[in-house]
Amino acid sequence: MPVHLITDNCTGCKLCLRACPYRAIDIVSGKAQFNDNCTQCGACASACKFDAIVLEIAYTPNVDVGQYRGVWVVAEHLHGQLRRGSYELLGEGRRLADKLDVEVAAVLLGDQTADLAQQLFTYGADKVYLGQDPVLAHYRTGPYSNVLAGMINRYKPEIVLISATPQGRDLAPRVAARLSAGLTADCTGLDIDEQERLLVQTRPAFGGNLMATIVCRHARPQMATVRPGVMKTLEPDRSRSGEMVEVPVHLDERGVLAKIVEVVQQETDGRVNLQDAEVIVSGGRGLGKPENFALIRELAEALGGAVGASRAAVDAGWIPAYHQVGQTGRTVQPKLYVACGISGAVQHLAGMSSSDCIIAINKDPTAPIFNIATYGIVGDLFEIVPALTKKLKEP
Ligand SMILES: Cc1cc2nc3c(=O)[nH]c(=O)nc-3n(C[C@H](O)[C@H](O)[C@H](O)COP(=O)(O)OP(=O)(O)OC[C@H]3O[C@@H](n4cnc5c(N)ncnc54)[C@H](O)[C@@H]3O)c2cc1C
């Protein structure tokens, strides 16, 4: 058993009781005692100050992979709305689950967020595992990792997908480490090896110059994070419904070290929401100087879109980093992506190549961006961009 008690060290202080999300510990004769609710999530071991509870995390090559079934997607929400990446992951989870002939389930943690479950069914989930507690109202590493690790231990999915958002990037490695499961971060492609029943995970490696294919043969679950904007959302089917599994969760605020004092929205110029934008106009080093981003903004405005940028433009200090598209910036999937004065380096393409329609404007006819562009305009952006804006603004 990975969690065990060293009775001599136990003082009966009850810190572990407060930390346990599953009411799995009783104090009997002044000592902690685990009951049948224990999911071995490890929350008690983290909370114990007396080295009385030990969580053994060791690589176990003999995991019975046959015990694990189903695909899970961890749903993320903000201000009462599911985030776009969760819908995309559900679409991908559905595809993988169909190949494996298993169910796809969403995990919905939060406080009073049960209403979001119907949306998850609409977008492909067969089942929703619901964990609700006031302590889960805002994401915090400790309680979210404890509850998710416990659910995975109890229900044993074979695949767990998490969005590579700041929240997902914090949560996924902690849960993977807790479960000794391994994790493939920032996948750009997922598939199933049907013969071996394995998740085939593709991600850029060596600065984006190589695509690595990773499989996890022995540990379970197979865990991956995927950036928002990479996978396709399914068409909503409002007639779909599914099974809701309410997992009892009991958290004690006193057992959580991190406190949320205030949730502050990052200030932007009001126009950027690259990941949700249907149209993005991006500028690169070809703009020559920061003032010339005005041309990009005007075209974006005329098209009702957002402004993106290459890393060269961001590194030059011409535009803030949250506009950056690419491997180390945002991954986007708009209906229309207009690249102006951007050469098309692999790291830029990694963030925008799945856009539905790409228009490239570049004076160099050999620029690699033309290899993936739907329409290419060879010419001077200082003539072409204002001409396009003018045309679009014509009544
Ligand atoms: C680990 C790593 C991560 C990276 N991550 C990212 C990332 O997330 N996003 C990203 O964008 N880059 C990233 N990069 C950088 C990337 O390799 C390129 O250096 C960068 O994308 C180049 O930006 P650019 O196309 O604007 O500039 P350049 O490559 O210099 O291209 C400028 C283009 O503008 C054209 N041009 C010049 N003047 C005009 C004109 N008047 N009219 C029309 N066209 C003109 C030129 O022909 C040229 O093709 C990363 C690099 C590394 C090593």
pLDDT tens across 202-223, in order? 998 876 678 899 999 989 999 9
Please check the confidence at residue 307 and state whether its pLDDT lies above 90: yes
For the structural domain made of 65-254, what CATH number should be given?
A: 3.40.50.620
| Mean pLDDT computed over every residue of the chain | 93
Q: How far apart are CA 246 and CA 16, in angstroms?
A: 23
Q: What pLDDT is recorded for position 262?
A: 86
Residue 57 pLDDT greater than 80, yes or no: no
Whether residue 343 has its Cβ less than 6 Å from ligand 1: yes
Say which residue the tokens 């045309």 belong to: 391
Residue nearest to atom 15 of ligand 1 (CA): 311
What are the residue ranges spanned by the domains of the chain? 3-55, 65-254, 274-393
Ligand 1 pocket, mutate which of 282, 324, 343, 358 (most atoms under 8 A from CB): 343
Give pLDDT, residue 204: 83
Q: What is the pLDDT of residue 333?
A: 86
> Ligand 1 centroid vs 134 CA: distance in angstroms?
46
pLDDT over threshold 60, residue 244: yes
Whether the per-residue pLDDT at 271 is higher than 80: the answer is no
Length of the chain (residues): 395
Whether 60 shows a pLDDT value over 90: the answer reads: no
Q: Does the beta carbon of 342 sit less than 6 angstroms from any atom of ligand 1?
A: yes
The DSSP element (H or E) to which 161 belongs, if any, is strand 159-163
Q: Whose CA is nearest to atom 41 of ligand 1?
A: 380
Q: Comparing C-alpha atoms, which of 91, 97, 95 is closest to residue 70?
A: 97
pLDDT at 363: 98
Average pLDDT over residues 317-326: 94
**Number of CB atoms found within 10 A of residue 169's CB:** 15
Average pLDDT over residues 297-320: 95
Residue pair 32/25 in contact by the 8 Å Cβ criterion: yes
The CATH label, of 3.10.20.440, 3.40.50.150, 3.40.50.1220, 3.40.1800.10, for the domain at 274-393 is 3.40.50.1220
Segment among 73-77, 127-131, 198-202, 217-221 with least mean pLDDT: 217-221
Q: What are the start-end ranges of the E strands in 220-318?
A: 222-226, 243-246, 279-283, 306-309
pLDDT for position 14: 94
Q: Please tell me what DSSP assigns to residue 250.
A: -
At 292 the pLDDT is: 97
pLDDT at 1 over 70: no
Instruction: Find the 348 Cα to ligand 1 centroid distance in Å.
Output: 7
Q: Kindly state if the Cβ of 313 falls inside 6 Å of ligand 1.
A: yes
Q: What are phi and psi of 107, to 5 degrees?
A: -105, 125
- Helix or strand or coil: residue 370? helix
Return the HEC string of 223-237: EEEECCCCCCCCCCC
Is 367 near ligand 1, meaning CB less than 6 Å away?
yes
CA distances from 324 to 102, 145, 348 (A): 38, 30, 9
* 65-254 and 274-393 agree in CATH topology: yes
- Give the atom of ligand 1 at the shortest distance from the alpha carbon of 361: 43
Q: What topology is assigned to 3-55 in CATH?
A: Alpha-Beta Plaits (3.30.70)
Residue of 291, 275, 299 whose CA lies nearest to 354: 275
**pLDDT tens digit string along 128-175?**
999 999 999 999 999 999 999 999 999 999 999 999 988 999 999 999
276 has pLDDT over 90: no
User: What's the 34 CA to ligand 1 centre distance in angstroms?
Assistant: 57
| Mean pLDDT value across residues 188-214 | 89
Over range 92-103, report the average pLDDT. Answer: 97
Q: What pLDDT shows up at residue 232?
A: 87
Measured in Å, residue 313 CA sits from the centre of ligand 1 at: 8
